Amino acid sequence: MNKPVTDVSVRLPGPPVADPAPWRRLIAHIGRGSSEREHQRILPFEAVDLLREARFGALRLAKEGGGAGASFRELYALALELAAADANVAHIFRNHFTVAEQFTRIPTDARAREWQQQVRDGALFGLASTEANASPAGGGVPTDTVLSPDGDGFRLDGVKYYSTGTLFADAMLVRAGTKDGRVASVIIPTKREGLEVVDDWDGAGQRLTGSGTTRFHGVRVEADEAIFDTPDRGYGLAYSNTQAQLFLTTVVAGIVRGVLEDAIALVTRRKRSFYYAPTPNPVDDPFLQQTIGQIASHAFAAEAIVLAAADALDRVSRARDRNEPADALAADAARAAAQAKIVVDELSLRAGTLLFEVGGASATERSVNLDRHWRNARTIAAHNPASYKAQAIGALLVKGTPLPSKGFF
């Protein structure tokens, strides 16, 4: 765990705000330890605690409810800045915002109002959805995680993988199936008896996200902690996963900005160049300047694409808040998020490679850890293949085939 923070100036007083300016001191503090944490595998508990204390997770709650009333555009713009500082920390909050959006922003019952209060106070939600034996991935009824009747509630048994953020969370959402084929979202505290969170994620990138295994050994679930899918709520809603997919792409866009910042720093601190370089001073080298310009253009494009897709999500959110038909808008937002992923993934991998063009062999030293940007972007991009998304978009445009409406879209 990181050392405690003694600089109180990084803490944000008062309720959270959507304006990124007050957050930048805190984000800069988180960024200063990012490379070392990743290199030494120091889990970012301190960084997450600072964001929890600042109620970063309450950005989408209404102002009158103690939140920031942030739009999706404002949320993703701020998440992008956080990802540029530390892609792991930003990624940890991805599932929180999904759960909070679906079940706490507009509460429908007493339990949901309790969850909303927890978010308002800074609580962080994790997620356990993926099963190793599920076929196909992202669809169907969970079979390895079973919700069984038990008195006036339920018992939860099973195992999940890729439980991103849950290691740092106060509560978590678990996707579970029943023996009669129903699917539910179960929201329970992470400290409940019988719940085991294991930090065994060993991916090439995003190593500090706590994306490991979660096991459930007869975990007690109260009746109102299980929300069964319906066509108009939670994961039963068409394109309910678009927000989560765009958040991942936002983290990737933040990585591109992080690449740019490291590339500039690398060139400005270089003291020598090759004997056949056009200038002896690297900062005057037109070829290095050109490479920096390319990376900067990648970062600009990635951010612009993400924010355009966020605007599409905002149109869905406003329509649903007004109880207006939103199915067509939701399909448009899913397409925008899918198209954003296809392009931003490519920009990030190019940028991660271009970074080494401004540094030479010394930039590949493990102690410098510049390869983390490429590894992290490549790991996130692998979450769901861009090739499938591109094909689905092509089929939509050529044949009118609707995009898949559930997981990964």
Instruction: CATH number of the domain at 317, please.
Output: 1.20.140.10
Alpha helices in 69-162 (DSSP H): 72-85, 87-92, 94-103, 110-120
Q: Which residue has the higher pLDDT, 155 or 132?
A: 155
Helix, strand, coil percentages, rounded to 5, for the chain = 50, 15, 35
Question: Are 242 and 374 contained in the same domain?
Answer: yes
Question: Are 174 and 300 contained in the same domain?
Answer: no
- Residue 356, pLDDT above cutoff 60: yes
The token duo for 78 is: 């701020």
| pLDDT-derived band at 1, boundaries 50, 70, 90 | very low
Question: Are 248 and 193 contained in the same domain?
Answer: no
Say if 171 falls within a structural domain.
Answer: yes
Summarised one tens digit per residue, pLDDT across range 44-99 is 999 999 999 999 999 999 999 899 999 999 999 999 999 999 999 999 999 999 99
Say if 65 falls within a structural domain.
Answer: yes
Summarised one tens digit per residue, pLDDT across range 147-192 is 999 999 999 999 999 999 999 999 999 999 999 999 999 999 999 9
| pLDDT-derived band at 346, boundaries 50, 70, 90 | very high
pLDDT at 3: 46
Mean pLDDT of 195-220: 96
Question: Are 151 and 213 contained in the same domain?
Answer: yes
pLDDT at 407: 84
Question: Are 210 and 270 contained in the same domain?
Answer: no
| pLDDT-derived band at 362, boundaries 50, 70, 90 | confident
Say if 78 falls within a structural domain.
Answer: yes
Last residue of a domain, one of 160, 195, 228: 228
Question: Are 279 and 391 contained in the same domain?
Answer: yes
Last residue of a domain, one of 207, 228, 249: 228
**Tokens 């996707």, located at residue:** 175
Question: Are 103 and 205 contained in the same domain?
Answer: no
β-bridge mates for residue 161, sequence order:
130
DSSP of 328-366: HHHHHHHHHHHHHHHHHHHHHHHHHHHGGGGT-GGGG-T
| pLDDT-derived band at 145, boundaries 50, 70, 90 | very high
| pLDDT-derived band at 134, boundaries 50, 70, 90 | confident
Say if 109 falls within a structural domain.
Answer: yes
Mean pLDDT of 358-378: 94
pLDDT at 236: 86
Cα–Cα distance measured from residue 206 to residue 379, given in angstroms and rounded to the nearest whole number: 7
Say if 263 falls within a structural domain.
Answer: yes
326: containing domain: 238-399
Say if 314 falls within a structural domain.
Answer: yes
Mean pLDDT of 351-363: 93
Average pLDDT in the chain: 94
Tell me, rounded to whole angstroms, the distance of Cα 13 from its chain centroid. Answer: 25
pLDDT at 171: 98
| pLDDT-derived band at 326, boundaries 50, 70, 90 | very high
Which residue type sits at 408? F
The model's pTM is 0.96
Question: Are 147 and 272 contained in the same domain?
Answer: no
Q: Indicate the SS3 state at residue 87.
A: helix
Mean pLDDT of 390-399: 98
pLDDT at 116: 97
Question: Are 248 and 261 contained in the same domain?
Answer: yes
Question: Are 115 and 169 contained in the same domain?
Answer: no
Q: Which residue has the higher pLDDT, 139 or 378?
A: 378
Mean pLDDT of 307-327: 97
CATH assignment at residue 96 = 1.10.540.10
Say if 10 falls within a structural domain.
Answer: no
Mean pLDDT of 128-150: 85
pLDDT at 8: 63
Total domain count, the chain = 3
Last residue of a domain, one of 124, 144, 178: 124
Cα–Cα distance measured from residue 235 to residue 252, given in angstroms and rounded to the nearest whole number: 24
pLDDT at 65: 84
Say if 408 falls within a structural domain.
Answer: no
The percent of residues above 70 in pLDDT, for the chain, comes to 98
Question: Are 166 and 223 contained in the same domain?
Answer: yes
DSSP of 254-286: HHHHHHHHHHHHHHHH-----TTSS-SSGGG-H
- Residue 6, pLDDT above cutoff 90: no
Question: Are 132 and 117 contained in the same domain?
Answer: no
